[in-house]
């Protein structure tokens, strides 16, 4: 509790004690009024002052005014206890609200606090701690076990295991060695690392993320706009309603020849005023969004504004880019067929023959081979552009390439029944088999597509620049509903527009890409989601939602988090407006007294705030 809150608490306690004491005394008349005015002023003087200032500044209809009129009215009617109690409970509610908001504000900022405080630089007297802002690009910084990497860079010395959970929400450790790029925000768990910085602190991943999260709420959702508009009309409307309730029925009763019962109707009108305070609504909606965004960022899903959270919850179409999003984007050896020798030997021959090439295919051959390649075993290398390579390995002639190459040297290649890039190998003039290389789907892709359908996504679409056969096979394997292949980047935008034109207004379309080369598509979709954005500034800037690691399942969590948050938002809207409306009606016909009114005001607000904080709990989604 801060100073202001402590002072308020003291005022509330003093008032409560005074009311209990006054309840025991048997005083009547003006003395009684004077006595009750003491606790009333103790607990409510600031409200009265604010109401007066409001009137002076022509801002009549606010909560302070409602409370001032209701309580002064109650006291004038002789309902001293109720007048003081209403003010007391109103203040208790305000205190609770301010405490709860402050607490969750602190909690959430703590959760998101990944800001490194210092960087270690080797100085004359050992390690010196300096402000990361002052570290220039190209400086070598030292990160000890248990410390956060403050600035993006490349490992110069040492190896270690990094914990990326502050960024990705996953506690999957990552091994780094000399030459690896490391990003700020990760925690070094094991060895000492010397890192040469490649960026200034302000441009580093951790700063970018913090900036993004801190400015998230500047884009407001429709629900928030609705509530502020609602509050703008609602308070004056209720004030006039209360005035009408106080004046119209007595006048009618008088005209009908009965007694006016002014006291009764004014009491009802005052009850009406107490019920009507809009604070529950106005506080709980932004609080829900704030908690939702905070929880999401904890799970490795960065959402740039509450409007995107709202749109994400309505997502019915999810369009994926293929390479790098649903698949790994790296080519791997997935099979060796028709081999006339041991598979390892065939692979070794192929890797050796291709060892002088920098083509991605030669890299995947080398990786699959697993051994260090001794280039001295390779002679007479001849690259035949568009076909492959011929060479002598250990003196034996080897040809590695496509079927055209095989044809050229007078051999018939056995074609492959599977999709991918096929590398045929001939050894010593004899066809020796082929190696199949292809981009493999991420292990969680198929599950992610299934789960998306479970959370209510109507259609999943895959876009790719790849050949149709490859695209169709991946789509079948993953269970994607629709696939468009052989697309140029501009075609992807056209496809998105076609999909956007077909869908309904309330159904939103999300595009998920890796953030490289798809900025136009990201911005055209209702929501652009960049995935695996660790270290990619362009993606973080272009997207509305950033998934911190490259697991497609994160998209499912993101939608679940958004749904939960929106459910809470609607619960709060209906809860608050619903209970208030019922109580207003009951108050108008005299079935609800001042005590019910206090519940409708303070109780509903407490419930709504507690419910809003639930949006922070997203761990299990």
Partner 1 sequence: MKKTYKIDVDCANCANKMEEAAQKTHGVANATVNFMALKMIVEFEDGQEPKAVMQEVRKNCKKIEDDCEIFL
Q: Which residues bind partner 1 (CB under 8 A)?
A: 50, 53, 57, 59, 62-63, 94, 97-98, 101, 105, 108, 214-215, 217-220, 228, 231, 278-279, 282-283, 286-287, 289-290
Backbone torsions φ then ψ of 578, nearest 5 degrees: -60, -55
State the burial class of residue 526 (Cβ atoms within 10 Å of its Cβ: 0-12, 13-18, 19+).
Answer: buried
CA distance linking residue 454 with residue 69, whole number of Å: 53
Element (H, E) at 151: none
Kindly tell me which of 62 and 550 has the beta carbon lying closer to partner 1.
Answer: 62
Kindly tell me which of 98 and 473 has the beta carbon lying closer to partner 1.
Answer: 98
Minimal distance, residue 290 CB to partner 1, in Å: 4
Minimal distance, residue 264 CB to partner 1, in Å: 31
DSSP secondary structure, 49-113, as one string: HHHHHHHHTT---SHHHHHHHHHHHHHHTT-HHHHHHHHHHHHHHHHHHHHHHHHHHHHHHHHT-
559 to each of 311, 313, 318, 569, how far by Cα in Å?
10, 6, 11, 15
Helix axes 222-255, 306-313, angle to 10 degrees: 90
Based on the residue annotation, tell me whether 321 is a catalytic residue of this protein. yes
Kindly tell me which of 562 and 608 has the beta carbon lying closer to partner 1.
Answer: 608
- Please report which residue ranges of 119-197 form alpha helices under DSSP H: 165-168
Kindly tell me which of 302 and 333 has the beta carbon lying closer to partner 1.
Answer: 302
Q: Tokens representing 236? A: 């004056």
Closest CA to 172 of 549, 559, 618: 549
Q: Name the CA dihedral angle for 43, 47, 48, 53, rounded to a multiple of 10 degrees.
A: 150
Minimal distance, residue 218 CB to partner 1, in Å: 5
Tokens 């502050």 — which residue? 166
Kindly tell me which of 56 and 125 has the beta carbon lying closer to partner 1.
Answer: 56
Kindly tell me which of 97 and 197 has the beta carbon lying closer to partner 1.
Answer: 97
Beta strands in 508-556 (DSSP E): 508-513, 527-531, 545-547
Element (H, E) at 244: helix 222-255
Minimal distance, residue 460 CB to partner 1, in Å: 34
DSSP secondary structure, 160-174, as one string: EEEE-HHHHS---EE
Minimal distance, residue 470 CB to partner 1, in Å: 45
Minimal distance, residue 46 CB to partner 1, in Å: 8
Kindly tell me which of 57 and 415 has the beta carbon lying closer to partner 1.
Answer: 57
CA distance linking residue 174 with residue 183, whole number of Å: 11
Closest CA to 283 of 132, 58, 102: 102
CB-CB contact of 480 with 462 (8 Å)? yes
How many C-beta atoms surround the C-beta of residue 469 within 10 A? 11
Kindly tell me which of 548 and 605 has the beta carbon lying closer to partner 1.
Answer: 605
For 310-322, letters b (16+ CB in 10 Å) and e give bbbbbbbbbbbbb
Catalytic residue among 321, 439, 518, 526: 321
Minimal distance, residue 106 CB to partner 1, in Å: 11
Kindly tell me which of 290 and 349 has the beta carbon lying closer to partner 1.
Answer: 290
Helix-, strand-, coil-residue percentages of the chain, each rounded to 5: 55, 20, 25
Kindly tell me which of 520 and 603 has the beta carbon lying closer to partner 1.
Answer: 603
CB-CB contact of 446 with 478 (8 Å)? yes
Minimal distance, residue 333 CB to partner 1, in Å: 50
3-state secondary structure of 336: strand
Minimal distance, residue 208 CB to partner 1, in Å: 16
Kindly tell me which of 279 and 463 has the beta carbon lying closer to partner 1.
Answer: 279
For 536-563, letters b (16+ CB in 10 Å) and e give beebbbbbbbbbbbbbbbbbbbbbbbbb
Element (H, E) at 207: helix 205-214
How many C-beta atoms surround the C-beta of residue 8 within 10 A? 20
Minimal distance, residue 300 CB to partner 1, in Å: 21
* CA 163 to the chain's CA centroid: 20
Active site residues: 321
């Amino acid at each position: 509790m801060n100073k202001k809150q402590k002072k308020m608490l003291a005022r509330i306690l003093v008032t409560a004690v005074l009311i209990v004491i006054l309840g025991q005394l048997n005083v009547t008349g003006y003395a009684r009024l004077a006595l009750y005015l003491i606790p009333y002023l103790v607990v409510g003087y600031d409200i009265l002052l604010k109401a007066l200032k409001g009137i002076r500044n022509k801002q009549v209809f606010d909560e302070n005014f409602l409370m001032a009129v209701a309580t002064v009215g109650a006291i004038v009617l002789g309902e001293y206890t109720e007048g003081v109690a209403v003010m007391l409970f109103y203040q208790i509610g305000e205190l609770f609200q301010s405490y709860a908001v402050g607490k969750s504000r602190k909690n959430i900022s703590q959760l998101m606090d990944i800001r490194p405080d210092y960087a270690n630089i080797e100085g004359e007297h050992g390690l010196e701690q300096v402000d990361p802002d002052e570290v220039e690009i190209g400086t070598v910084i030292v990160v000890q076990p248990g410390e956060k990497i403050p600035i993006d860079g490349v490992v110069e010395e040492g190896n270690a295991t990094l914990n990326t959970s502050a960024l990705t929400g996953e506690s999957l450790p990552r091994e780094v060695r000399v030459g690896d790029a490391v990003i700020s925000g990760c925690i070094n768990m094991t060895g000492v690392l010397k890192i040469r910085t490649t960026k200034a602190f302000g441009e580093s991943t951790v700063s970018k993320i913090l900036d993004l999260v801190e400015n998230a709420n500047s884009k407001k959702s429709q629900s928030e706009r609705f509530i502020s508009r609602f509050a703008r009309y609602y308070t004056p409307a209720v004030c006039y309603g209360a005035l009408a309730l106080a004046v119209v029925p007595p006048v009618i009763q008088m005209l009908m020849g009965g007694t006016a019962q002014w006291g009764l109707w004014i009491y009802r009108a005052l009850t009406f005023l107490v019920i009507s305070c809009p604070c529950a609504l106005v506080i709980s909606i932004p609080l829900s969004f704030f908690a939702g965004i905070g929880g999401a960022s904890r799970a490795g899903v960065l959402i740039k504004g509450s409007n995107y959270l709202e749109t994400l919850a309505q997502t019915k179409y999810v369009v994926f880019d293929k390479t790098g999003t649903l698949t790994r984007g790296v080519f791997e050896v997935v099979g060796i067929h028709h081999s006339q020798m041991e598979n390892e030997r065939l692979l070794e021959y192929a890797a050796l023959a291709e060892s002088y090439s920098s083509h991605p295919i030669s890299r995947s051959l080398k990786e699959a081979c697993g051994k260090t390649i001794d280039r001295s075993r390779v002679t007479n290398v001849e690259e035949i552009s568009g076909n492959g390579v011929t060479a002598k390995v250990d003196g034996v002639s080897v040809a590695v390439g496509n079927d055209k190459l095989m044809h050229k040297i007078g051999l018939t290649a056995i074609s492959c029944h599977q999709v991918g890039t096929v590398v045929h190998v001939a050894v010593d003039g004899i066809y020796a088999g082929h190696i199949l290389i292809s981009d493999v789907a991420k292990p969680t892709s198929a599950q992610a597509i299934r789960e998306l359908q479970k959370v209510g996504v109507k259609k999943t679409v895959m876009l790719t620049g790849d050949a149709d056969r490859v695209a169709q096979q991946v789509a079948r394997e993953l269970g994607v509903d629709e696939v468009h292949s052989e697309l140029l980047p501009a075609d992807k935008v056209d496809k998105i527009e076609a999909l956007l034109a077909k869908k309904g207004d309330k159904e939103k379309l999300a595009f998920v890409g890796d953030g490289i080369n798809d900025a136009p598509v990201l911005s055209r979709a209702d929501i652009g989601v960049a995935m695996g954005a660790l270290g990619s500034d362009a993606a973080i800037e272009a997207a509305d939602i950033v998934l911190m690691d490259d697991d497609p399942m994160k998209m499912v969590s993101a939608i679940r988090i958004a749904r939960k948050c929106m459910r809470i938002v609607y619960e709060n809207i209906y809860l608050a407006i619903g209970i208030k409306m019922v109580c207003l009606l009951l108050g108008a016909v005299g079935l609800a007294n001042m005590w019910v009114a206090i519940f409708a005001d303070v109780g509903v607000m407490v419930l709504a705030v507690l419910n809003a904080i639930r949006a922070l709990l997203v761990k299990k989604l």
